[in-house]
Structure 1
Amino acid sequence: MKQIQGSFIKGYVRIVVTGDRPEMFIQESVNRGVTVWNIKREGRKSCSGNVKLSDIPEIRKIRRERNYKITFEERRGYPFLFSRFFRRKEFVFSFIMSILLILFMSNIIWKVEITGELPKEIEEKIATQLNAYGIHAGAWIFTIDPPAKIQQKLTDDIPELLWVGVRQKGTTYQLEGVEKIVVQDDKVEGPRNLVATKKGIIKRMYVSKGVPQVEINDYVEPGKILVSGKLNEVPESEEEDENKENRKEIVVPAEGEIIASTWYEVDVTIPLKQNYELLTGQQEKKYYIGIKNFKFPIWGFGSPDFQDVHHDSTTSPIKFLKWNLPINIIESTLSEKQLQKFERTKEEAVQAGIKQAKEELQLQLGPDAKITSEKVLHESLENGKVKLYLYITVEENIAKAQPITQGD
């Protein structure tokens, strides 16, 4: 039984042997290693049996050595099915074109959906940017960046987006966005004081409402009242002027800016030597069909004109309806790169460190703060790196609103 397993896959033929003592032909075939099964006596001088398609040459060889007639009655198995299929050229052509059409339709974008509770103007911005990236109905999937890169581009190009998720579901691209809500300091409504948020020395004061509680060059600690929202007490009537308990207190929302000199201690490390890669902008693209670990080039042959190459590859699976086939389209980008080496003296490293520390601190404090001076408290050279410990002085607004509650 094991000898005839898989015979339908490889194909087999039912033969009829005609001649004197046809069983001798069957026996000779078996002796030569030919597998024959379902042997049946058809007449006094004929018998039939099934023979594998691969044994037909041996059967013909035996027939030439013996005086027998061989007739092929039935042909069964996949080889004969395929043979009959491919003889129908019109059907084969239609079948191949249908498969190609399905593959084509499965690998283009049919729909782009933008979900999430977003204002209409942001949705329009997202749609405009997607069109600029080449993402729209009818676009070829292989020409589109991967979802992670699209997410990064959208958040960079649309400041109003806090987060956006991009997901490819079949031939549909689904985007879900979250609007960025600018978190501002809670505005204190009603009567309030202005208090210090940091310790510092008062340099300038601009008070439009309220009573100043500090003067220029005063040193203040966090929580110190800078501008009071309580005005001088005003008597309700001349008779009540003599009785302070009957006077009515007036409170207002204090407003103003209190610019103080504050200070920060910052440490920074700068290497004396640096190596980095610089892309020149020259690039070439190559495309491959990938099957497991094998890549077959289909576009972009030859080597690039530049020597130092930075490789970046994007793999996109070919889809058939909703399934991913084990075949990928691989886009390889070859970019020219230059290896740069940069060396500086200790003095240059110190200046670079001071600049870097000031820029980082400015980012933390915001554009309204002004760095007025810096001083190197300590510097050292270790393992080819300069370490700096800096004292930086800043002028900034340290006032913060604080509500006036009953009983204050």
Structure 2
Amino acid sequence: MKQEQGTWIRGYLTIHVIGSRPELFLDLCARNEIYVWDIHKIDKQTCVANIFVKDLLKIKKIRKKTRYKIQFKKRTGLPFTWKKFKKRKALMFGIVLSVLFVFFLSNMVWKIEIDGVRPEVEKQIRTSLRANGVYPGVLKFSVESPSKLQRLVLDNNPELLWVGVKEKGTTYTLEGVEKTTISEQEVKSPSNIVANKSGVIVDMYVSKGKPLAKINDFVEKGEILVAGDLKTADAIDEEKGEENEKEEGEYQIAAEAEIYANTWYESTISVPMEVTYQAITGEVNNKYYLGGNNQKVPIWGFFQEEYQSSRIEEEQNSIYFFQWELPIYFYKKEVYELEEVVEKRSEKEAKELGIRQAKIDLQETLGQAAEITNEKILHEASENGKVKLELYFTVKENIAKIQDLSQGD
């Protein structure tokens, strides 16, 4: 018979069958469903064959009914190897401990490389990573995924335009791109400062050019506030005698100024007086799995109470042995408990919330440099369970806009 696969794992014996016509004994074994292979005859009285360990008792029972002698010459396979190891417990313990130690070391962060940034920025990145538990020597299972690390580094280092995070074995590689500040050109083309919005001027800071408006003036959008054409602005009266001798371009400069004015905006917003939403209670169950090929084996946290309503976040980490990535993954599942919250608001609360939300929306549109100085309710109505507001905002903002003289008024 041909050898069957997995014989070493199951364990087998090499036997010598001694007697007259020993092949008849092996035929008797086959008739009793004993698997026999690698049969060959040494001489007229002896045959050699292999049998599985599990069939040993069957062989002994058959031998008792015959006159053949059975000699066990060789023991091969995992059961016998395991038996040898059991006799050497210290050696076995050392091997298991060594494998676990290597496995442990293979799943630690040993190196963090940062490229593409200046040394001082690199130091800031390393400091922010350490503050968030990412440093050489930490277990990779406790480190956030590369995408989360990327957001973390960008949030903590505003001077970075982009950063890429790659995980390779026990090394994390970060490649960053810094924001570049374009320095202003020393020589600028002649220009005026005009109003980009209509409003009433409250502050003026003119460093270059001829002011054509003053504080408390109402100006229209597009109106010239600071002239860069000094000749047109009649700003060279003291040089009238030499005016015809100079070229027109000598009286044109790049105006520079900051002009702050009160501007006005209207907004309409509707706020429900009752709203239902799901909120996280603060309770969370952490579950851990080992798995691969779409199969997961729970290893911790699987006896925890299930929530009626929950939000689940999963994280997958590769497992390494030396530099090889194993086809096994470590999964962490965070299950957050959710509860349904019904919030009822009074008309006053809804109105305050609407004003606050309208101010936030307007601030996001105008930018943080603008300052909302006043708000006024033009119209207020309550219908169909909602409070509808028409609001009027006064904003202090910089309305200066550079207009190249070549563009005209």
Same fold (TM over 0.5): yes
Q: Which residue of 1 aligns with 2:97?
A: 97
- Change in CA separation of 1:75 and 1:349 when aligned onto 2, cut-off 3 Å: same
Matched, 1:112 2:112: yes
Q: Which residue of 1 aligns with 2:299?
A: 296
Matched, 1:143 2:145: no
Matched, 1:273 2:274: yes
Query: CA–CA distance in 2 between the matches of 1:339 and 1:187?
Result: 61
Range with greater deviation from structure 2 (94-103 or 201-210): 201-210
**Contact preservation (8 Å) 2:200, 2:261:** yes
The amino acid that maps onto 2:342 is K
Q: Superposed, which structure 2 residues align to 1:2-401 within 5 Å? A: 4-6=3-5, 8-9=7-8, 10-77=10-77, 79-80=79-80, 92-116=92-116, 118-181=117-180, 189=188, 191-198=190-197, 200-204=198-202, 206=204, 208=206, 209-214=208-213, 216-222=216-222, 224-229=223-228, 230=230, 231-234=234-237, 236=239, 238=241, 245-246=244-245, 250-279=251-280, 287=288, 289-290=290-291, 292-297=295-300, 303=304, 312-333=313-334, 339-346=340-347, 348-365=349-366, 366-376=368-378, 381=383, 386=387, 388=389, 390-401=391-402
- Change in CA separation of 1:251 and 1:317 when aligned onto 2, cut-off 3 Å: closer
Displacement of 1:125 in angstroms is 1.1
Write out per-residue CA displacement over residues 295-318 of structure 1, whole angstroms, 9 at most, x where no aligned residue.
022xx69758x9987655544332
Query: CA–CA distance in 1 between the matches of 2:161 and 2:112?
Result: 20
Query: CA–CA distance in 1 between the matches of 2:372 and 2:279?
Result: 34
Q: CA RMSD in A?
A: 4.0
Query: CA–CA distance in 2 between the matches of 1:385 and 1:181?
Result: 48
The amino acid that maps onto 1:401 is I
Query: CA–CA distance in 2 between the matches of 1:42 and 1:338?
Result: 80
Write out per-residue CA displacement over residues 266-320 of structure 1, whole angstroms, 9 at most, x where no aligned residue.
34443332334555656675655556322022xx69758x998765554433211
**Contact preservation (8 Å) 1:228, 1:254:** yes
The amino acid that maps onto 2:322 is L
The amino acid that maps onto 1:274 is V
Displacement of 1:403 in angstroms is 4.0
Displacement of 1:337 in angstroms is 6.1
* Structure 2, unaligned runs of 5 or more: none
Query: CA–CA distance in 2 between the matches of 1:95 and 1:14?
Result: 29
Tell me the number of residue pairs that the alignment of Structure 1 and Structure 2 aligns.
397
**Contact preservation (8 Å) 1:202, 1:258:** no
Query: CA–CA distance in 2 between the matches of 1:26 and 1:254?
Result: 110
- Change in CA separation of 1:362 and 1:6 when aligned onto 2, cut-off 3 Å: closer
**Contact preservation (8 Å) 1:151, 1:164:** yes
The amino acid that maps onto 1:294 is V
**Contact preservation (8 Å) 2:370, 2:396:** no
**Contact preservation (8 Å) 1:317, 1:324:** yes
Query: CA–CA distance in 2 between the matches of 1:190 and 1:138?
Result: 57
- Change in CA separation of 1:44 and 1:5 when aligned onto 2, cut-off 3 Å: closer
Query: CA–CA distance in 1 between the matches of 2:46 and 2:253?
Result: 122
Displacement of 1:380 in angstroms is 7.6
- 3-state SS of paired residue (2:58): helix
- 3-state SS of paired residue (1:221): coil
Sequence identity, in percent? 37
- 3-state SS of paired residue (1:101): helix
**Contact preservation (8 Å) 2:363, 2:370:** no
**Contact preservation (8 Å) 1:233, 1:248:** no
- 3-state SS of paired residue (1:103): helix
Write out per-residue CA displacement over residues 72-127 of structure 1, whole angstroms, 9 at most, x where no aligned residue.
224445555555566665654443333222212211111111111x2322211111
The amino acid that maps onto 1:168 is E
Range with greater deviation from structure 2 (82-91 or 35-44): 82-91
- 3-state SS of paired residue (1:293): strand
Write out per-residue CA displacement over residues 343-385 of structure 1, whole angstroms, 9 at most, x where no aligned residue.
1245533432222111221233233433434444686856x55
- 3-state SS of paired residue (2:134): coil
- Change in CA separation of 1:210 and 1:315 when aligned onto 2, cut-off 3 Å: closer
The amino acid that maps onto 1:57 is L
